[in-house]
Structure 1
Amino acid sequence: MTEEPVVLLEGPSSVGKSTLLKSLADAHNAEVIDLDDLATRDAVLADPGLFMAGTPPVCVDEHQKAPLVLDAIKAQLNKSTRPGRFLLAGSTRHCALPQTAQSLTGRLNRITIYPLAQAEIEGHTSSLVATLFSSPATAIQAPTPKTTRDEYIQRIAHGGLPMALERDARELSNIRQSAMLPRLLGRLTSQTAQVLNIASAAADITLDERIAATPKLHIIDSGVAARLLRLTPEKLARRDATSLTEFGHLLETFVVGELQREASWMDGIAGIGHWRTHDHDEVDLVIERDDGAIIAFEVKAGSRVPGESFSPLRKNCVTK
């Protein structure tokens, strides 16, 4: 807020955006314009320019419910682009809004708010990602955690997000074939921690698509993934082949989510992604810093890791 004229807090529903927005507003003696409130929304839609011309910082919650406020903000920025003028929050990704609502591209700083990491839930301040970048020897020499398989299962299945995905997505005016959404979510969730095959998912639910890319898919919250797949802790604890495979996929999604949250706390992160070659060598997660330093992760659910499992990690480091 000391550098940018507009800061946008975005992320899943109920992840804590409104709480953070209210806290920041209180710190600046500002009021929050809550567009979830119908009366407030109607008043803002009637005269968005009036509300956006208020004393900075102008704080707007659920901004996507009245996209006209973005045009009003743009008009204000044409007069002055001093830092800290607007603080927005919303459950919809800014790039998913209609084109007319993307008028602030290049003028705002987008901050993704993720679910709480395990360290936050437990009240710890440690960060594995930060330690691996700053002092890898310290991380390697750390004692082996005593977390049991059953404890991992409980944490994976618990999650922290409500089942509000369908409701939020339906509020986007440009969502087409919305009747397919529940089936699509379930089908995509079944591919978590796997290379995404859009064509296969679309064909299974008879959805029109033209995308051919194959990134690796991870559901943002392992608890949501478990519920969409109807996987209870009891099912994940079974020793049959299907349950072991499902546990492996959800464990990887859980770990990747934890590492992504930690990386989001740091400055200087150039990119986070999955590494895969045409020869099918792959590394589950690679995090790269601006200076070219990288850390790579391979997630295994078994109690032992054979030596060949490290081969892709070595190739990744040589390639980088």
Structure 2
Amino acid sequence: MATTELIPRRAAAQVAAALADTRVVLISGARQAGKSTLVRVVAGDRLADRRDLDRAADRAAAIADPEGFVDSPELLVIDEIQRVPELLLAIKVSVDENPRPGRFLLTGSSQLFGMIAAPDALPGRMETVELWPLSQGEIDGTPDGFVDAIFSLGPELRHQSAVTRADYAARIVRGGLPEATTRDDARRRERFFDAYIQALLDRDIRQLSDIQRKGELRKMVRLLAARSATVLGANSLESALGLSRPTIARYLQALEEIFLVKRIPGWSRNLGTRATAAPKLVFVDSGLASNELDVDGHALLRPGAPFGPLLESFVLSELSRQRTWCQQAVEISHYRDHSKFEVDVVLENRAGQVVGIEVKAASTVGSDDFRGLRRLAERLGDDFVAGVVLYTGASTLPFGDRLRAMPVSALWQVAAP
């Protein structure tokens, strides 16, 4: 549903808390994910100076006189800090001389520590808050509490859902970029996505890396969308793209640094089995991935459509959003062992407790869908909290000890205990 209202962001509380005790706070995330709006909300009535490095005049001043540019008695907000990474050294000098908290609030659309020519970037002086596109809970005004709930309640968690397969398909193709969520007209949303990708490749990639063959990079983006939520095989990418492995690795790094894609690492523990180290790849926004595959909500429901991979990518990106604000400190990975037992998502907290999640596009679930989760439960013993198959049906169903089928919408409709 389109809306022009300001949507409250869960990251706002994190940013405010960080400003209270940290000298420099960075809001990092994809372009047009809502960083500038979040800054305005958090800054509120504070006295603050603001600079935007997307503006040519501000950028020229920053390059000419970095120390003077960051000299401010009030909170200084600097948008798109990656445009002039040399400012980080001037900020470091400034906060060392005056270490009071809340000196600088930065935003960036590229991962600072991966940038070419970035200086030693404020270790011990800066906290980074990761801002993803809107979550489904932020859009709907629902709790987004699944991660905390499943670790707290385990298999006792229950959820009933009225969300249909068609509703899930519509959510996948819409994604969470604020501008896209305001466009009910599918064609207008497609034009936004097309322009968004082109701008990333034309501007942000050029700033980060010396990539000359943009046509091949564009082809790679489409190929990665077609392989979303699958384990990345370097050999298959080499043969499909006709590029060397080092070139592919450089392109992937650049796409990750501009927050277009995210790699989900393979999970392993000393379990007496060999787990794959190859990562899975997901798009940060499912709407962008769907657009790259030329599918809308109706097409996604047809036989042979990539509903399953896009739904898994959608779930992984929702969980990645949620881990940035939930009370449980969790890592997200996937599992595949030498016997080819697989689990789509592994959540592990700092106590070593694990929740395994499988994603199924079907509205019914069978015992075979729990094959990988049973294997993980056997290996982990008491550290295995629960195994959940997220599916497009309506009810929570038991499938054995600590194993449950649960509607996908539990991700954003369940409240944390």
TM-score by length of 1: 0.90
Do the aligned residues in 2 keep the contact of 1:184 with 1:202 (CA within 8 Å)? Answer: no
Tell me: CA distance 1:275–1:27, structure 2 relative to 1, closer, same or farther (3 Å). farther
Q: From the superposition, tell whether residues 31 and 247 of structure 1 become closer, same or farther in structure 2 (CA, over 3 Å).
A: same
Q: What is the DSSP-based 3-state SS (H/G/I as helix, E as strand, rest coil) of the residue aligned with 1:201?
A: helix
- Map of 1:15-54 to 2, 5 A cutoff? 15-54=33-72
Task: Determine the structure 2 residue equivalent to 1:101.
Answer: 119
Does structure 1 residue 279 correspond to structure 2 residue 339? yes
1:218 paired residue number: 282
Give the structure 1 partner of residue 27 of structure 2.
9
Which residue number in structure 2 is paired with residue 294 of structure 1? 354
2:224 corresponds to which residue? 188
Match of 1:209 in 2: 245
* Percentage of identical aligned residues: 34
Return 5+ residue gaps in structure 2 as ranges: 1-18, 178-192, 250-275, 381-417
Change (3 A) 1:138 1:31: farther
Q: 1:13 touches 1:168 (CA, 8 Å); kept in 2?
A: no
What aligned pairs does 1:1-320 form with structure 2 within 5 A after superposition?
Answer: 1-139=19-157, 141-143=158-160, 145-161=161-177, 162=193, 163-164=196-197, 165-179=200-214, 180-210=216-246, 214-239=278-303, 242-243=304-305, 246-320=306-380
Displacement of 1:56 after TM fit? 4.1
Cα distance change, pair 203–27 in 1 and its aligned pair in 2 (3 A): farther
Compared with structure 1, are the counterparts of its residues 195 and 24 closer, same or farther at alpha carbon in structure 2 (3 Å cutoff)? same
Residue 264 of structure 2: aligned partner: none
Letter in structure 2 aligned against 1:67: P
The worse-fitting range, judged by mean Cα deviation, of 204-213 and 260-269 is 204-213
Mark the runs of 5 or more structure 1 residues left unpaired by the alignment. none
Measure the CA separation in 2 of the matches of 1:248 and 1:317.
24
Give, in whole Å, the separation in 1 of the partners of 2:355 and 2:322. Answer: 13
Q: Secondary structure at the match of 1:78?
A: helix
Query: In the aligned structure 2, how far is the partner of 1:73 from the partner of 1:304?
Result: 55
**CA pair 318-99 structure 1, distance change in 2 beyond 3 A:** farther
> Residues 198 and 214 of structure 1 are in contact (CA less than 8 Å); yes or no, is this contact kept in structure 2?
no
- AA aligned opposite 1:218: V
How far has the Cα of 1:153 moved from its partner?
Answer: 0.9
Is the CA contact 1:21–1:61 (under 8 Å) kept in the aligned structure 2? no
2-structure distance, mates of 1:71, 1:85:
14
Kept in 2: contact 1:220–1:257 (CA 8 A): yes
Which AA in structure 1 matches 2:201?
Answer: E
Judging changes above 3 Å, is the alpha-carbon distance between structure 1 residues 270 and 146 closer, same or farther for their aligned structure 2 residues? closer
Deviations 1:230-287 (A, max 9, x none): 1122321212xx31xx111001111111222122112441411111212211111111
Q: Secondary structure at the match of 2:21?
A: coil
Aligned partners of 1:131 and 1:138 also within 8 Å: no
Could you say what secondary structure the match of 1:8 adopts? strand
How many angstroms apart in 2 are the aligned matches of 1:200 and 1:288? 30
C-alpha distance in structure 2 between counterparts of 1:311 and 1:304, whole Å? 16
Q: Which one-letter code corresponds to 1:112 in the other structure? A: E
Separation in 2 of the partners of 1:248 and 1:118? 18
Provide the secondary structure at the position in 2 that maps to 1:309.
helix
The TM-score, its normalising length taken from structure 2, stands at: 0.70
